[in-house]
Amino acid sequence: MALTPEQLAEIEAQRATPRPTLRAVSEGMESHLYRAHTVLDHGFVRVIDYMGDDSAIVQAARVSYGAGTKHVQDDAGLIRYLMRHWHSTPFEMCEVKLHVKLPIFVARQWIRHRTANVNEYSARYSVMDREFYIPAPEHLAAQSTINNQGRGAVLTGEEAARVLEWLKTDAARCYDHYHDMLSQDGQQGLARELARMNLPTNIYTQWYWKVDLHNLFHFLRLRADAHAQYEIRVYADVICKLVADWVPLAFGAFEDYRMGGATLSAKALECLRKMLAGQAVTQESSGMSRGEWREFQAVLATSDT
């Protein structure tokens, strides 16, 4: 269970006490405030606070105040222009603070994005909960033979059963020993900051993560991609839905230019121009490596010609 009854009651209490404000309000994001969106088996993402909306991006770009006579399509056009030309600072005017519960090995991937403010649950001061991420059978996969960072075929039968049993028993055993080291029949026990070294990386941690929209888009472009590891991608997918409700114009531009778009090198552009002119282009004549050529073909969804 991602949330305890006490936590759910606290969330309902927070949502039951709205406050008047003069700040810009995103109705879409207001609907998500404090609510927990379940991820994996015990994880969640919830919005604690946010600042700004689509109009804040436009206001920063124009350095203006008031709506004047502009229309929504004007804002959409400007936001798309900013996204298209990589003008990032107006997007930094929006910020969001998330409360995330996630396995430690996912957190260690996540923290590589060093452009956020983070405060994590401390196992030096508190005892970790007995909650571990155990993959669903369909997500137990062998090592990919062509990608050192990827997965291959899904494990089945006895092999899958054996791996699942190891994951469960090893996590339980490590936590039992961790708990015993902290308190042994009334003895003082080992310090928490030392006992925590015995915990597996599939145990859940929690943090508050505050980031501006520009850097959040960078995170989502990488982690919501189909090639990202499943366990972090599902968190990114949930955050995408939150951002789409928070800043729909900006998220639409992000989907179009970043998630759905592609960047071509000078060589790739030259090849594309030749193709449009009716010239035959091969990998050998393109000046690209095999890997570059393969990626170029994937962008164009063409066969090797």
The answer for residues whose C-beta is within 8 angstroms of residue 187's C-beta and 6 or more apart is none
Look up the domain containing 223 and give its range.
5-128+202-259
Given 167, 198, 229, which residue is the final one in a domain?
A: 198
| 303, pLDDT greater than 70 | no
244 is a domain residue:
yes
Read off the pLDDT of residues 8-17 as tens digits, 9 standing for 90 and up: 888 888 888 8
How many domains are contained in the chain? 3
DSSP state of 39: E
- Select from 231, 223, 212 the least CA-distant residue to 90: 212
96 is a domain residue:
yes
| 147, pLDDT greater than 80 | no
As a whole number, the mean pLDDT across the chain is 91
- Residue 101 sits at φ, ψ, to 5 deg, of -115, 125
243 is a domain residue:
yes
Q: How far apart are CA 225 and CA 236, in angstroms?
A: 9
Do 171 and 280 have their domain in common?
no
Do 117 and 241 have their domain in common?
yes
Quick one: pLDDT at residue 184? 67
Do 285 and 236 have their domain in common?
no
Do 119 and 34 have their domain in common?
yes
Q: Which range is least confidently modeled, 66-70, 196-200, 202-206, 266-270?
A: 66-70
pLDDT confidence tier of residue 70, bands split at 50, 70 and 90: low
Task: Read off the pLDDT of each residue in 83-87 and give the average, rounded to a whole number.
Answer: 94
Quick one: pLDDT at residue 104? 97
Task: Read off the pLDDT of each residue in 191-208 and give the average, rounded to a whole number.
Answer: 95
The β-bridge partners of 217 are none
305 is a domain residue:
no
Do 191 and 69 have their domain in common?
no
Quick one: pLDDT at residue 305? 47
45 is a domain residue:
yes
- Is 130 noted as a catalytic residue in this protein? no
- Residue 97 sits at φ, ψ, to 5 deg, of -115, 120
Do 181 and 295 have their domain in common?
no
103 is a domain residue:
yes
Do 240 and 117 have their domain in common?
yes
Given 146, 179, 198, which residue is the final one in a domain?
A: 198
| 153, pLDDT greater than 70 | yes
Given 160, 176, 198, which residue is the final one in a domain?
A: 198
| 141, pLDDT greater than 70 | yes
The β-bridge partners of 96 are 50, 211
Do 216 and 286 have their domain in common?
no
Quick one: pLDDT at residue 10? 87
169 is a domain residue:
yes
Quick one: pLDDT at residue 237? 97
pLDDT confidence tier of residue 304, bands split at 50, 70 and 90: low
Catalytic residue among 221, 223, 233, 273: 223
| 41, pLDDT greater than 90 | yes
